[in-house]
């Protein structure tokens, strides 16, 4: 259906009192590296933390931190570790396996002080919420309390009706149940919901498989053609026009 055809039908419906509204009624959002610049904050925060702890903080040290983080987080998303458990796992990579829970928690708490001081929002985020009249909610493979804290600190929390986080729902992306749970909370069929996230696999392809409109926010990648059914944008400035065209 062309844009012109759809406009005609919507206007025709409005005259008859049956205007169906926009096709996309709500947007579900990833948080880390989509709304918040997680990678930059993590890098700056961990450099400050390693410096304070007397640990090496060169490129190799940061790459090891990323490897440790990704491995532990995958076990959290897979249900093998709790959110606190994955933090302890990361801390013990530096303290040693013999570290107690209290020692690991204290080490990670010191890291969080530096990490939170570096939290920042991408510059295209605030303008896109001003430009969209859609309903919004969050779907994140994370801890609800942490994401509440992060979005509040970034001045974004008021945009979202709710935060659906995997530690509370028990469903992690890319499982279709994660996306469908969030759509059910919105009271909308997946076909009327778009999902915006920075990961092609977890976010866009997962959303598409669950029947949503998967939108891959690829800010830094080289030009590429996305898989069938996935929409790729390189900045959120492109999102309003894309949502209007779907
Ligand atoms: Mg992300």
Lookup result for tokens 């204290």: 106
Segment 202-244, tens digit of pLDDT: 999 999 999 999 999 999 989 999 999 899 999 999 999 999 9
What's the per-residue H, E or C state across the chain? CCHHHHHHHHHHHHHCCCCCCCCCCEEEECCECCCECHHHHHHHHHHHHHHHHCCCCCHHHHHHHHHHHHHHHHHHHCCCCCHHHHHHHHHHHHHCCCCCHHHHHHHHHHHHHHHHHCCCECCCHHHHHHHCCCEEEEEECCCHHHHHHHHHHCCCHHHCCCEEEHHHHCCCCCCHHHHHHHHHHHCCCHHHEEEEECCHHHHHHHHHHCCCEEEEECCCCCCCCCCCCEEEECCHHHHHHHHHHC
The whole-chain average pLDDT of the chain stands at 91
Q: Are residues 99 and 131 in the same domain?
A: no
Which domain covers residue 233, as residue numbers? 5-36+120-245
Q: Are residues 209 and 185 in the same domain?
A: yes
Domain boundary among 69, 92, 117: 117
Domain boundary among 117, 144, 166: 117
Q: Are residues 133 and 226 in the same domain?
A: yes
- C-alpha 144 to ligand 1 mean position (Å): 15
CATH number at residue 99: 1.10.150
Domain boundary among 63, 84, 117: 117
- C-alpha 175 to ligand 1 mean position (Å): 15
pLDDT of 3 strictly over 60 = no
- C-alpha 33 to ligand 1 mean position (Å): 5
Q: Are residues 135 and 229 in the same domain?
A: yes
Q: Are residues 106 and 196 in the same domain?
A: no
- C-alpha 198 to ligand 1 mean position (Å): 5
Segment 136-183, tens digit of pLDDT: 999 999 999 999 999 999 999 999 999 999 989 999 999 999 999 999
Q: Which residues surround ligand 1, an ion (CB under 5 A)?
A: 30, 32-33, 198
- C-alpha 70 to ligand 1 mean position (Å): 12
Segment 54-94, tens digit of pLDDT: 999 899 999 999 999 999 989 998 889 999 999 999 999 99
């Amino acid at each position: 259906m062309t844009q012109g055809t759809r406009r005609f039908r919507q206007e025709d419906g409005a005259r008859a009192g049956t205007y169906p509204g926009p096709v996309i009624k709500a947007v579900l959002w990833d948080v880390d590296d989509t709304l918040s610049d997680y990678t930059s904050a993590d890098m700056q925060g961990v450099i400050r933390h390693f410096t304070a702890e007397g640990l090496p903080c060169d490129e190799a040290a940061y790459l090891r931190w990323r490897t440790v983080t990704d491995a532990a987080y995958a076990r959290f998303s897979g249900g093998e570790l709790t959110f606190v458990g994955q933090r302890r796992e990361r801390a013990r990579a530096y303290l040693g396996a013999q570290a107690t829970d209290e020692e690991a928690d204290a080490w990670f708490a010191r890291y969080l002080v530096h990490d939170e001081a570096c939290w920042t929002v991408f510059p295209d985020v605030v303008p896109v919420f001003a430009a969209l009249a859609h309903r919004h909610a969050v779907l994140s493979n994370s801890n609800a309390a942490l994401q509440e804290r992060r979005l509040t600190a970034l001045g974004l929390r008021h945009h979202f009706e709710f935060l659906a986080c995997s530690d509370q729902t028990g469903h992690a992306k890319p499982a279709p149940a994660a996306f469908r749970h969030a759509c059910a909370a919105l009271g909308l069929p997946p076909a009327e919901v778009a999902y915006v996230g920075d990961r092609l696999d977890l976010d866009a392809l997962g959303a598409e498989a669950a029947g949503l409109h998967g939108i891959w926010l690829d800010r830094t990648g080289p030009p590429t053609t996305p898989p069938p059914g996935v929409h790729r944008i390189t900045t959120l400035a492109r999102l309003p026009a894309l949502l209007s065209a779907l």
